[in-house]
Chains A and B, each alone.
Chain A
Amino acid sequence: MLESYLRERMKQKDILLMTHLVLGYPSFDDSFKIIEAMVEAGVDLMELQVPFSEPIADGPVILRANQKALESGATVERSLDLAKKVAQRFDIPFLIMTYYNILFKYGTDRFVAEMADRNLKGAIIPDLPPEEGGEYLKAMEKYVMAPILIFSPTTPFERMRYLANFARGFIYCVARKGVTGQDTSFSEELVSYLSRCRSATDLPLAVGFGVKQKEDVDFLKAKADIAVIGTQTIRIVEERGVHSVGDFIRGLR
């Protein structure tokens, strides 16, 4: 169970780190090396994004990574194969992050079964609210996968409670409005939003969008359980190369 794993880790660390990458970007070989470096640097869990041509919730950096991955031949099958390989090799939970059409075209139940078969632990599907996700949520329950649901600063408290009913593992709290990869102001407003999230659910809270340096991670300690590093690692890979990822992750905590 993802949640019990997280709770165990939370006893040992004052905050957990979740990282993200786009499978097949810059290449599948590089993706493997990046994942390996992240695991060695001590990340606690990872979200692996299966590229999609219309990643509507992502900002320019992740959007381009999706496109480049697809241009260089990334497919759903190759993405799932790499996910399987790393889930076998490394002893941390891996989640799939992608958009609903990828599951829908594959067959939602079949996709979730494949995730379970590949020893993945859950999924984040940002364009699938529970109102539209009946089939998905049923399949996730059937195969004991954690559907990670999202809270946002515009989500009313009542809706947070509603979403929490369907969520397993943890809640992904989007730190601000906008898409991935923009700056976030780590402010009192964020603190009061996170305390609202906390009172809406007993699940661990992950905070993502704009988390990119040690100060941000420090800020989140005691306010959240997991800091999510997304776009920034892609920037590090682009600017300094795959070999810089380990140092960057180690520097965050």
Chain B
Amino acid sequence: MITKRYYGQFGGAFLPEILVATFDELVAAFEAAKNDPSFWQEYQHVMSTYSCRPTPITFAENLTRFFGGPRIYVKREDLNHTGAHKANNVMGQGILVKRMGKTRVIAETGAGQHGVATATMAARFGFNCTIYMGEVDVWRQRPNVFWMERLGAQVVPVKEGTRILKDAINEAFRDWVSNMDDTHYVLGTACGPHPYPEMVAYLQSIIGKEARRQLLETEGKLPARVYACVGGGSNAMGIFSGFFDDPVELVGVEAGGDGLDTGRHASRLASKDGSIGVAQGYKTCFLQNGDGQMRETHSVAAGLDYVGVSPILASLKESGRVRFEAATDKEVLEAAALTIRKEGLIPALESAHAFAQAFKEAPGMSGDDIILINQSGRGDKDIFTIADAFNDPAWQKFIIKKAEAYRA
């Protein structure tokens, strides 16, 4: 019997029959872990000894002065091992894989952060590992492919469909339906069939728990607004969940790409282009045409370039609990540049969406207010994209020289 869970009208478990037994097993393992206090203890222990939890909050004093508005705090998920919040989910699922007695993990990846994190976890726990990555993303995020391979993972470039994140997810499912006996699929975000949305949000809730406590300790009060970028939605779910019961405005920022009116974006909730559908095993808002065929998406940030979104967030949009906005590629690059220069923080282009929206709103807010931005990952991985955007001639010269050296 399939356990399904809905968030409003979103979620569910639209599973091919071959996977039903596997999901039954996963649901049981997750429920057991949730009800076993030693699971969360082990998880916290791993995250504090293998990664950098609790990650700090940083007061962005220079940005605060620059905008002359609210006091700006940044939650530093970039300081996790492998440089993003993805580590939280992956290490948690890794502990679960051990408990289930499986020996191989597979994962999809867009920006490559989830792939690197999964490969790291697999190396640490001694699992075999295969990562599916769209061919377009392999090209955009080549350094991450290098690291996954060094970590012992097999990286499979996906040449089907639009050759980005959604296609990598389909391929991972195709692997899993053949190999479920020894293999666990480490889905990277709070999407997909139950229990993934709940399970990933549960593991990422560590972000919000810490951030709330840290702000209360530091400032003695809660933030007026919390900003997080939204691809699949796991970092947003993670930080938002700490404030669901508080009078705090939660703002999810999607990829506006070339602009919402151009059609070239990945904004399912903030644009008018999203509509409800069922794909990849769950019901949510997708970017699709009238026939239900998924559309191409676009973002400068590979990790936000996805047709679906967490069913939990789709429901929170419908209930009005979370406000959704979009930041364009151009605004995002400007926000990243400003943050780098003013604070010496290097946000991933994904995370820079949250900064961009916060910067749009900060000038209109009171100096007594606090805002919190989730820096979900670090931007080092984006060096090629950012260098291109800044059209840095010295960097180009270096790359040409390097290529020539390889050619010789």
Contacts and interface: CB of A to CB of B under 8 A. Distances in A.
Contact of A177 (B20, B166, B180): B180
B180 A56 contact: no
A156 interface: yes
A100 B166 CA distance: 17
B288 interface: yes
Interface string A49-77: 00011101101100110010010000110
A64 B167 CA distance: 12
A104 B277 contact: yes
Interface in B265-290: 275-281, 288, 290
Given A100-B14, A129-B17, A154-B22, 4 more contacts: A52-B292, A53-B294, A101-B292, A154-B21
Residue among A64, A70, A129 with most chain B CB within 10 A: A129
A152 B18 contact: yes
B170 interface: yes
A70 B293 contact: yes
B197 to A, nearest CB: 15
Contacts of A105: 275, 277, 288, 290-292
A179 B291 contact: no
B166 to A, nearest CB: 7
Nearest to A50: B291
Interface in A123-137: 126-129, 131-132
A162 B178 contact: no
A154 B20 CA distance: 8
Interface in A119-152: 126-129, 131-132, 149-152
Contacts of B19: 154
Contacts of A126: 16-17
B2 A129 contact: yes
Contact of B161 (A53, A132, A150): A53
9 nearest CB pairs, A to B: A105-B292, A178-B178, A152-B18, A101-B292, A131-B2, A53-B293, A150-B17, A154-B21, A53-B294
Nearest to B308: A54
A97 interface: no
Contacts of B13: 129, 131-132
B177 A177 contact: yes
B21 A56 contact: no
B280 A56 contact: yes
A41 B20 CA distance: 37
Contact of B1 (A52, A151, A159): A159
Interface residues of A, number: 42
Contacts of A153: 18
A105 B287 CA distance: 12
Contacts of B277: 101, 104-105
B174 interface: yes
Contacts of A57: 16, 18, 177
Interface of B: 1-2, 4, 12-22, 160-161, 166, 170, 173-174, 177-180, 275-281, 288, 290-294
Contacts, number: 115
A45 interface: no
A162 B1 contact: yes
A132 B17 contact: no
Contacts of A149: 17
Residue among B12, B21, B179 with most chain A CB within 10 A: B21
Contact of A129 (B14, B161, B275): B14
A67 B161 contact: yes
Given A75-B291, A102-B292, A131-B1, A155 B20 contact: yes
B178 A177 contact: yes
A63 B160 contact: yes
Contacts of B290: 105
A90 interface: no
Contact of B292 (A60, A67, A104): A104
Nearest to A55: B170
Nearest to A59: B174
Nearest to B178: A178
Contacts of B22: 154
Contact of B160 (A52, A67, A129): A67
A101 B365 CA distance: 43
8 contacts: A56-B174, A99-B279, A126-B17, A127-B16, A128-B14, A132-B14, A154-B22, A177-B18
B174 A179 contact: yes
A174 interface: yes
B293 to A, nearest CB: 4
A106 interface: yes
Contacts of B180: 154, 177
Contact of A101 (B15, B161, B174, B279): B279
Contacts of B160: 60, 63-64, 67
B17 A174 contact: yes
B185 to A, nearest CB: 12
A182 B279 CA distance: 23
B301 to A, nearest CB: 22
A51 B68 CA distance: 54
A167 to B, nearest CB: 11
Given A57-B177, A63-B160, A127-B15, A106 B292 contact: yes
Contacts of B275: 105
Contacts of B279: 54, 56, 99, 101
Contacts of B292: 52, 76, 101-102, 104-106
A219 B290 CA distance: 44
Interface in A36-52: 52
Contacts of A102: 291-292
Given A76-B291, A132-B12, A154-B22, A101 B278 contact: yes
Nearest to B296: A53
Nearest to A178: B178
A60 B167 CA distance: 12
B325 to A, nearest CB: 27
A196 to B, nearest CB: 14
